[in-house]
Amino acid sequence: MLILRTPEERFTDLADYPFAPHYTAIQTQDGSDLRIHHLDEGPADGPIVLCMHGQPVWSYLYRKMIPYLTQAGMRVIAPDLPGYGKSDKPAALEDYTYEVQVEWMGKWLEKNDFSDITFFGQDWGGLIGLRLVVNHAHRFNRVVIANTGLPYNPDISAEVIKEVEDFRANSPTPSLAQMQRALSQMAGNQATKFAYWQKFCWESADMPIGFMMSMTMEQRSNLTRAFKFMLHAAGIRSPLPTQLAKAYDAPFPDASFKMGPRAMPSQVPTLPTSPSMEEQRKAWAFFDHFEKPFLCAFADNDPVTAGMAIQFIERVPGTKGLPHTTIKGGGHFVQENEPEQVSQAIIDLIRST
């Protein structure tokens, strides 16, 4: 397996990221060494909060939440998934599957021997982290999720399957604007709309990650946004980059390092024909009987995951009687937009249970 490692100097002088790195080496299926990075902040004897990020970001996403949690006495563990952040980056498409990410992070978890964990996950952090809860249940005391899911859709019609597969195989690569428009209209047939994100990521060899995160997370005037989009459309991958854009670009010195962010959306099991469907079925069977505290803290304005909290609240016994929180104005990346609200939900759950 060809594994790339981002040079450390790419991470010097990042805004608001003063945290010491910690590294764990695990072995892949072919015997290669894979180094996984994590943050470890707060009192060593504090309750552990395991914070897992999604795609295409990294543990930088948690820099605003960490102070709230550590000041409340929590120990924050925030890993970078393989392919992201300071973790190693396997270089081939076939290196990335949902199941192998669950396996790699399970090995990382076991090697560090973390236990009595409160899990927090958003986006892919939820997809992978919830499966860690299934596979290593004795290590977890509580679960908090935001803007994520546990996709399992066995009943989608053959017509929709054909439509999505034909779109992904034969349609032109969507532009950044077309992709964003589709994601903003996820209500209804989510598999069809999400296919725009899957296709855009895979077919954009040099995904403009910093630019996309800046335009998603940072408040800008309509004129500034239009000007930046015009420059991007003219061929400038990251026009007038902010400190935040630079931070989200930092893990990727060139396009060859971006296989993880490109490949992972296509691994989301949105169709009955998707990989991981049987493992997802088993995971839902586990959570149908999960009685430990399970809190939902979804944003009120994330079109990608709107309505997904209901499935957990209706099915997971551990959700009963808890004050499920709506993160006001959180957007998709609640950690960036409303870190205090999310942190307080986690702190209150730990203190009350």
Tell the CATH topology of 3-152+274-352.
Rossmann fold (3.40.50)
- pLDDT tens for 45-89 read 999 999 999 999 999 999 999 999 999 999 999 999 999 999 999
Active site residues: 123, 302, 332
pLDDT at 135 exceeding the cut of 90: yes
Would you state the structure tokens that stand for residue 245, as one six-digit string?
Answer: 């854009």
List C-alpha distances in Å: 93 to 89, 90, 103. Answer: 11, 8, 17
The residue-averaged pLDDT of 9-24 equals: 96
Question: Confidence band (pLDDT; 50, 70, 90) for 163?
Answer: very high
Q: What is the pLDDT of residues 273-283, one digit of tens each?
A: 998 999 999 99
Burial 279-289 (b: 16+ CB within 10 A, else e): bbeebeebbee
Distance CA 36, CA 325 (A): 32
Lowest-pLDDT range of 39-48, 196-205, 226-235: 226-235
Q: How many residues does the chain have?
A: 353
pLDDT bucket at 180, cuts 50 / 70 / 90: confident
Tell me whether residue 204 is exposed, middle or buried, using C-beta atoms within 10 angstroms of its C-beta: 0 to 12, 13 to 18, 19 or more. Answer: buried
* Half-sphere exposure at residue 29, Cβ-oriented, CA atoms within 13 angstroms: 10
Tokens 């069809």, residue located: 192
pLDDT in tens, 190-218: 788 999 999 999 999 999 999 999 999 99
- Cβ-in-10-Å burial (0-12, 13-18, 19+) of 91 comes to middle
The pLDDT-based confidence of 227 (bands split at 50, 70, 90) is: confident
Give the pLDDT of residue 187: 60
pLDDT of amino acid 51: 98
DSSP calls for 231-251: HHHTT-SSSS--HHHHHHHTT
The residue to which tokens 């992904």 are assigned:
168
Phi, psi values for residue 179, rounded to 5°: -65, -45
The residue to which tokens 């060494």 are assigned: 33
Q: Which two tokens stand for residue 197?
A: 């994100």
Instruction: Among 22-36, 76-90, 183-197, 252-266, name the one with the lowest average pLDDT.
Output: 183-197
Q: pLDDT category, 189, cuts 50, 70, 90? A: low
**Mean pLDDT, the chain, as a whole number?**
95
Dig out the tokens for 209 from the structure. 């990650």
The Cβ of residue 296 has, within 10 Å, a number of other Cβ atoms equal to 23
| Percent above pLDDT 90 for the chain | 86
Q: Is 176 exposed, middle or buried (0-12, 13-18, 19+ CB in 10 A)?
A: middle
pLDDT > 80? residue 147:
yes
Instruction: Evaluate if residue 222 carries a pLDDT over 90.
Output: no
- The answer to whether 218 and 241 have CB atoms below 8 angstroms apart is no
Let me know: does 223 contact 195? Beta carbons within 8 Å: no
In order, the DSSP letters of 332-345 are S-HHHH-HHHHHHH
Residue 230, pLDDT score? 85
Question: Taking the model in full, what pTM does it have?
Answer: 0.95
Residue carrying structure tokens 């997370």: 217
Residue 297 structure tokens? 């803290």
Residue 303 has a pLDDT of: 87
Looking at residue 67, its pLDDT comes to 98
> What residue spans of 57-189 are helical by DSSP H?
65-71, 98-112, 124-135, 158-170, 176-183
Rounded CA gap, 266 and 93, in Å? 10
pLDDT exceeds cutoff 60 at 188:
no
pLDDT > 90? residue 236: no
- What average pLDDT does range 7-26 have in this prediction? 97
Q: Where are the domains of the chain?
A: 3-152+274-352, 158-267
Which of 54-58, 178-182, 225-229 has the largest mean confidence?
54-58
